[in-house]
Amino acid sequence: MTGSEALHNTLELARLADRLGYNRYWVAEHHGGPMLAGPSPEALIGPIASATAGIRVGSGGVMLPHYSPFKVAESFSLLAGLYPGRIDLGVGRAPGTDPLTTYALQRDRRDAAPDDFPNQLAELLGYFDGSLPADHPFARLAAFLPGRPEVPEPWLLGSSPQSAIWAAQLGLPYAFADFINGDGAELAASYRNQFADGAPTGQTPAARTAVAVWAICAETEEEAQYLSASRRMTFRLLRMGQLIPVPPPEEALAWLRSQGLSEIAETPGRRAIVGRPEVVRDGLLEVAEEYGAEEVIVVTITFDHQARLRSYELLAEAMELEPRADLTPDERAAFKHV
């Protein structure tokens, strides 16, 4: 599909997730590739929040090394002011792209951007919680954020030991990318232990963990595996340095066979939960228990948009989510039907 079609599909999925009772809807940041049309979460969050009623909307995440912390604070303060109590600011360190595109994103291209993420993050949080020292040159700017008194809820995203340390030190909720690193349970436990030991005076009084997992639901195991072939081909090639648009399942299955690869085996080191609704439900609950996570973030990539919508419908039913109270009678009937 075109990028424009994908963006409109994002809004449709958000409206569905809102009606079905999901808690959060996050959009990521990726640049300069043929697979994803989401380079600007701060630009997408407003239209999504406007198109929905109760679901929290946020970034999963803003890749902070590209930006001025003050500009990010202003943008998300504005969103929080427009949609009180509904905006999340998930922050990540990864570039979300290749080195050349990272260079293209730089305002000053005379030198490589400094690797000062901890300082950037501390400054960003300081604008929201008033923790910038009085003698900090930008301290006075915190009073002029446009959405005050509303502020977004900050999260730190990660898939490495260092991100777990920072999240604990700063007292932040921590969202771990199991879809990138399937061996993160020990890191999540380390985050909780360090959080408790450090007794931080940060953004949240207790450790909170979300774990992000690949998942696809369908009425049958066969259909779910068929739909998942598109993702398997895409990420096999990504590991080989080849970026492609998400292919149709038939093309993906043919490619997997041509490479002598299993049509259902996952890429080594990557976990995906694929199958009938009850299988996916049980798998997600097992991952949540493994990580000690209060929330699971479900990442679903399919070639067909309707299949993706259906996957989230089936999962909502299997997880017994409560549809939002502002559903119309027709929408409630439709949800019961699925």
67-77 pLDDT, tens digit per residue, is 999 999 999 99
- Long-range CB contact pairs, 189-192, < 8 A, 24+: 189/292, 190/161, 190/164, 190/165, 191/164, 191/165, 191/167, 192/168, 192/292
Arithmetic mean of pLDDT, 182-198: 89
Cα(41)–Cα(302) distance, rounded to whole angstroms? 21
Q: Where are the beta strands (DSSP E) in 67-197?
A: 87-92, 153-158, 174-177
Classify residue 271 by its DSSP letter.
-
Predicted confidence at residue 152, as pLDDT, reads 97
Please report the sign of the dihedral spanned by the C-alpha atoms of residue 116, residue 57, residue 231, residue 188: positive
pLDDT above 80 for 199:
no
3-class state of residue 144 by DSSP: helix
Predicted confidence at residue 326, as pLDDT, reads 63
Tokens of 310: 């259906």
Predicted confidence at residue 338, as pLDDT, reads 38
* φ and ψ at residue 65, rounded to 5 degrees: -55, -20
Q: What is this structure's pTM?
A: 0.90
Provide the phi-psi class of 112: left if phi over 0, else alpha when psi is between -120 and 50, else beta.
beta
CA-based nearest residue to 9, from 313, 309, 215, 248: 309
Predicted confidence at residue 337, as pLDDT, reads 41
Which H or E run contains 211?
A: strand 209-217
Domain ranges of the chain: 1-158
- pLDDT band with cut points at 50, 70 and 90 for residue 147: very high
Cα(211)–Cα(202) distance, rounded to whole angstroms? 21
Q: Cβ neighbours of residue 53 under 8 Å, at least 6 residues apart?
A: 18, 324, 326
Cα(235)–Cα(33) distance, rounded to whole angstroms? 13
Q: Which fold has domain 1-158?
A: TIM Barrel (3.20.20)
How deeply is 317 buried, as exposed, middle or buried, from its count of CB atoms within 10 A (0-12, 13-18, 19+)? middle
